[in-house]
Amino acid sequence: MRSRQRMFAAVMRLLLKCLRLGRRRRFKLVRQAEQLWHYGHLCLRSLLYNSFTNGDVVLDSLFEPVYWLVDHVTRWFGVVFVALVIGLTSSIVAIVYICLLPLILQTYTPAWICWHLAYGHWNLIMIVFHYYMAITTSPGHPPQAKDDLTGVSICRKCIAPKPARTHHCSICNRCVLKMDHHCPWLNNCVGHYNHRYFFSFCLFMTMGCIYCSISGWEMFQDAYAAIERMKLLEKERLQVAANQTYYQTPPPAFSFHQRAFHKSVVYLWVLCSSVALALGALTLWHATLITRGETSIERHINRKERQRLQKKGKVFRNPYSYGSWDNWKVFLGVDMPRHWLTRVLLPSPHLPRGTGLSWELPPCMTERHAPLLAL
């Protein structure tokens, strides 16, 4: 009896021991799996961790293929846009010379004829000169050698010195001095050496379009009314011709020359008015930036910096602004009164002030301005 009890107790102890070992082994496997999971998660986070990462960085990364596509399309379509500008401008000039100029010489007084000839040709010369210079002039690029510049940052994309006011153009794939933007209508960047040409082209093109719109307003009204009469007479002619034979069909009320003349005047007025509104708004925007002494890119940077300092109770001062009037003088390269005629009202290929690598106070600015940060 006792031997059976001892045997039963031994079997039970052995069974409990086996269960205890199995439970320990199972717990050990679970712990190892948890350790492997945490280790893998830690490795993944260590590979992807960036203290500067936020929602904006993630969004920019997701849209990077879209940016790449836009940059390359803009680069290849720049030639098309330039050809479009040249074609549209040439068509307007051709209409003025072929259709409007003979009419002006026949109907206007000698004083008005001299005014239109003088102003029209001066405006055309200014448009052609500044557009050609804006296309062919390099905006300026910083030197690639690191020993040439000191105290500047390094561009993360081209791994080269990046002076103040310099930014990288993803379309040109180069850093541009005092970059404002990449203009597809120029197929070129707008920077330090061609910023004045770009703005002058926008200004004189707007002035030319406004001049054509105002001068051709009465002609446009007459041409539009004539086209409406053409449509009405054409409709009546077709109704009469439907009840007559071929030989009894009346001749057209308007000749081909008259139709082309009226449609050309309407085309000229609509195109010039549209360009005057769109380009005029762009010109006013850039004039505001020039008055403030900043570029399109710097406007966004300065706005964020102004908001950041405002929270700290400080005031942001643009270090590249010398005052509204002086900003225009520096931008246009006006050093003396006669330069308003020779460098602003007449075509002038003079270079801008400085090299675009450093921005010291111009010699003509004797008054020292407030520092960058003022409490």
Active site residues: 183
Concatenated DSSP letters of 165-207:
T-EEETTTTEEETT--EEETTTTEEE-TTTHHHHHHHHHHHHH
Closest CA to 265 of 230, 227, 219: 219
Sign, Cα dihedral of 323, 328, 331, 335: negative
Using CB atoms within 10 Å of the CB of residue 181, give its burial: 0 to 12 exposed, 13 to 18 middle, 19+ buried: middle
The residues near 108 (Cβ < 8 Å, ≥ 6 apart) are 116
Using CB atoms within 10 Å of the CB of residue 230, give its burial: 0 to 12 exposed, 13 to 18 middle, 19+ buried: middle
Strand-pairing partners, residue 153, are 162
Structure tokens at 315: 């005031």
Q: Cα–Cα distance between 14 and 67 in angstroms, integer?
A: 71
User: How many CB atoms neighbour CB 96 within 10 A?
Assistant: 19
The C-alpha R_g of the chain, in whole angstroms, comes to 37
Concatenated DSSP letters of 138-176:
------S-TTS--S-EE-TTT-SEE-TT-EEETTTTEEE
